[in-house]
A and B are shown apart, each in its own frame.
Chain A
Amino acid sequence: MSGRLHVSPANAEPLAVSRDPRATSHEPASSAAGARVWVLGSTVLKILGLAVFAFLLFGPLANLALWSVAERWYTPFKLPVSYGMRYWEVVFRPTGDAMSSLMTSVGIACLTVMVALAVSVPAGYALARLKLPWRTALMILFLLPQAFPSVAIYINVARVFYSIGLTGTITGVVLVHAAHGLVYSVWIAAAAFAAVDRDLELAARNIGASPLRTFFTVTLPLAAPGVMASAIFVFLESLDEFTGTFFVGVPQITTLPLLLYNASMGGNYQIASITALILLVPSVVFMFVIERFLKADVLSKVGQ
């Protein structure tokens, strides 16, 4: 992991340079010397800020990318000794573990989303619309799995699951992931439903729609973007989840994070890096999608 420090500045530098021309074009605009110093100072600060941001964002990524193509890289050298795509081939080999654990991961994530939605859509609607006496307590209940150290929880969960035969099964892992993801999915779904103007529902009821019909033709379509966003959060959380899978799923279930863990423990940084990069793809893609779905009016109601 020592490569990170050496590689990242090299990556950040071109970015800082590319900002420079714009900064100098600002300079002659101000005539007073004081203002000039001010502009220059703020420009330098901006460049520094960008450099730090770029370092934090791209540094780890560059390190991963470099490790994934490094065939040999040892201590005295600041860059890999020899490059090659050998490990990519190992990972993507049809008989390799990576592809099958990727499939397992995605499958578990999809099932987790379904379970979470089955709870969060009715629960979110109830929390948003009905006058529930224990509303705050219920909201906190969904937060609880996140509030305690996860290892302490999962040891107990594993113990209970073992006694009912759920350890080492997809069902067990899905349940653990769903419990973990429910806080996002319920809170965001509740906010999405709360953001739907009640008059829109009343207008449907008023001209003859039953409550159920109103829900499926008006409320749900209007809350769909927020519900979608919550589903994506749950999907990503499930894809990334390690602790719960480790305690409940091992050894029968191998997800991508578990594979990554095994590879790292075995000192195989190349395989670990490639696995991490694969895990990164859905995260980045979905983050762009979420950004489109989650509107300010929904975000402002999260946790209310």
Chain B
Amino acid sequence: MDSSVLAAIDVDHLQVSYGSQRVLHGVSLSVAPGEFIAILGSSGCGKTTLLRTIAGFQKAAGGAIRLSGRDVVNMPPEKRGMAMMFQSYALWPHMTVLGNVGYGLRLRGLPKEEIRARVASVLKMLNLSGLEDRKVTDLSGGQRQRVALGRALAIEPGILLLDEPLSNLDAKVRIQLRSEIKSLQNRLGFTAIHVTHDREEAMTMADRIVVMDAGRIAQVGSPKEVYDRPNSPFVASFMGAENTLDLDVRPSGAGVEVRVDDSTATALGADVPVGHVTAYFRDDIASLVDPHARIDGSIVLPGKITQRTYPGGHYRYVAAIGDRHFTVTDDRYHELDRPVGLRLPLASLHLFPKTQTTGGHHA
């Protein structure tokens, strides 16, 4: 982070507890002005708690939250100058669209005509023109969440917090709103923190991704960084590398020698950890080759094809390697039970020192 510019949001060793149970164990995160951050994690990892503590809905047990240098950790939510979108939309059913979107402006004591004009321009921006006097209960899910976005943006907040706002919407509307929020952010320049459990949503929207696990930050980085270079087995499997393989890596000459089980060995020149390691990888990096092939920089696991499907464009095979099964796609047609080699490029494997407790997923 560039320390010469004051961070829009600076979370410093934030601790939060529910009763005696600690849910955030000293989280530190710095968000630059205009940055779009996605907080990614499975349910119960504390991502929503982090967001709600930043918003001021949840009391912190320790640490600081600084907005442009000003500590707000003990400030009530209405003084923090943020806006939030909720998973449940949280629109007020007893108000019209105008009432909802104009609420923040009414609080700020703007005259009626100006509120109407500003609400109209917000609605126009969100393609909701002319819906001012509709009841929010008469709108579709996508329209409701747009109204909620309008309500948040009407007060021209410096920071927009998004608490899984898209997860209740159907797929098409979700993808559409994703790009709308993103382009509005580019245009208006607000800082955004988006909590989600949807990996693709986080990848496509965010400048930086924060992966959280059990009340701690597991990794922070650009989408590509987190995807290609996960720093822990948890992040690797959370980012989709759910297949595991135990390897034995030994130094050999200029490079290393990799042994898998007791049979195959492949030499290569690369810098990888030496010793017993566990490799995490996604299905899509594997390819089918000749079982006896020796390819520099890759390991080849001999096995055979047990299943073939054609989902369109290419064939999808299930290859059995010993008692493990992996899903591979290949353009060519192969007979069932044919011996094949499963090629795994070493550069695409995420290698971590082996732990005794690793269960690992099978494809």
Contacts and interface: CB of A to CB of B under 8 A. Distances in A.
A202 B94 contact: no
B108 interface: yes
B155 interface: yes
Interface residues of B, number: 26
Given A202-B77, A203-B84, A203-B86, A208 B107 contact: yes
B33 interface: no
Contacts of A86: none
Contacts of B84: 202-203, 206
Interface residues of A, number: 18
A206 B88 contact: no
A199 B91 CA distance: 9
Contacts, number: 63
Interface string A208-226: 1111010001100110000
Given A200-B91, A203-B90, 6 more contacts: A202-B77, A203-B151, A206-B55, A207-B83, A207-B155, A218-B92
A148 B40 CA distance: 57
A39 B22 CA distance: 62
A197 B88 contact: yes
A204 B56 CA distance: 12
A45 to B, nearest CB: 42
Given A205-B76, A205-B77, A200 B90 contact: yes
Interface of B: 55-57, 76-78, 81-84, 86, 88, 90-94, 103-104, 107-108, 148, 151-152, 155, 157
A221 B104 CA distance: 17
Given A202-B57, A203-B84, A222 B107 contact: no
A225 to B, nearest CB: 10
B92 A209 contact: no
Contact of A199 (B81, B86, B151): B86
A197 B86 CA distance: 12
B151 A207 contact: yes
By Cβ-Cβ distance, the 5 closest A-B pairs, closest first, are: A207-B104, A199-B90, A203-B90, A205-B77, A206-B84
A218 B106 CA distance: 14
12 contacts: A199-B86, A199-B90, A200-B92, A203-B86, A205-B56, A206-B57, A207-B104, A207-B152, A208-B81, A208-B107, A209-B78, A209-B107
B104 A208 contact: yes
A206 B159 CA distance: 11
Nearest to A207: B104
Contacts of B86: 199, 202-203
A207 B107 contact: yes
Contact of A204 (B55, B103, B148): B103
A203 B104 CA distance: 10
A209 B80 CA distance: 11
A199 B77 contact: no
A217 B102 CA distance: 13
B109 to A, nearest CB: 11
A286 B78 CA distance: 40
B90 A222 contact: no
Contacts of B55: 202, 206
Nearest to A206: B84
Given A206-B78, A207-B83, A221 B94 contact: yes
Interface string A60-77: 000000000000000000
B52 to A, nearest CB: 8
Residue from A200, A202, A206, A221 with most neighbouring chain B CB atoms (10 Å): A206
Contacts of B93: 222
B92 A222 contact: yes
A204 B100 CA distance: 10
Residue from B82, B93, B103 with most neighbouring chain A CB atoms (10 Å): B103
A209 B103 CA distance: 9
Nearest to A214: B78
Contacts of B83: 206-207
A140 B254 CA distance: 80
B51 to A, nearest CB: 11
A199 to B, nearest CB: 4
A199 B157 CA distance: 19
A206 B83 CA distance: 6
A200 B56 CA distance: 15
Contact of B107 (A199, A202, A213): A213
A221 B100 CA distance: 14
Contacts of A217: 103
